Amino acid sequence: MSKKFFITGTDTNVGKTFVSTILLKKATQYGYKTAGYKPVSSGLQKMSSHVINTDAFFLKKNSSVILSDTEVNPITFFENAPPHILSQMCNKNINIKDLSLGLKNMMHKSNWILIEGAGGWYTPLSYKNTFADWVQKERLTVIIIVGIKLGCINHAILTEQAIFSKKLKCKGWIANNVVPEDRYNLYYIQTLLKYLRSPLLGIVPYISKKSHINLENIYIQLPD
């Protein structure tokens, strides 16, 4: 039986992929066969001589099992915009069944799967379904990445309440210092500890050069 965790954020650009790579590396150290899964993405770039979404590239790179680009990221759009808008503009429907099929195939290769959403919790996949609807369908356990910055308290509380409203488990939240730490950062985290019901799994310090990650200096409790 594969362990499956859905990574959502309090907003876009809060470091979901960066934290996901840390979790994948830690899970690999624990002996799991790890796989990163980005069901839907928008925005392609040339990475290592081929064109791929950057989030998918780093998830693939930090997975311990060998995966193709399509396995990691089955649905992708060239431009960087909300998926449901690009889906309509490109006449390319995002079928929830395809997301589930990709996850099922991933489970044959891996016993520890990290699934990264796009944007925040309620990112639309169409004008009828959001990412949250698919997570509910699959009964996935959720981890929230909170970008520690102005506005994060409100966003984190709303995100957790939305997850619980769908009767889903929230394994915890990770505080990611996405901007250089100032005198308010600690107060943000202290406030969230009072308001959020799910546990704090770890705090990621601000790191200017993301390519140089020393796991020994970052403590994150690996979800079980």
Positions at the binding site for substrate: 42
- Per-residue b/e over 142-180, b at no fewer than 16 CB within 10 Å? bbbbbbbbeebbebbbebbebbeeeebebbbbbbbbbee
Positions at the binding site for Mg(2+): 17, 55, 116
Q: Which residues are annotated as a binding site for ATP?
A: 13-18, 55, 116-119, 176-177, 205-207
Residue ranges of the binding site:
13-18, 42, 55, 116-119, 176-177, 205-207
Q: Is 209 a catalytic residue?
A: no
Structure tokens given for 25:
């590396």
- Which member of 3, 4, 33, 38 is catalytic? 38
Q: How far is CA 106 from its chain centroid?
A: 16
**38 CB contacts (<8 Å, ≥6 apart)?**
53, 55, 56, 59, 72, 73, 115, 116, 118
Residue in 18, 14, 47, 30 with CA at minimum distance from that of residue 156:
14
Point out the residues that are catalytic: 38
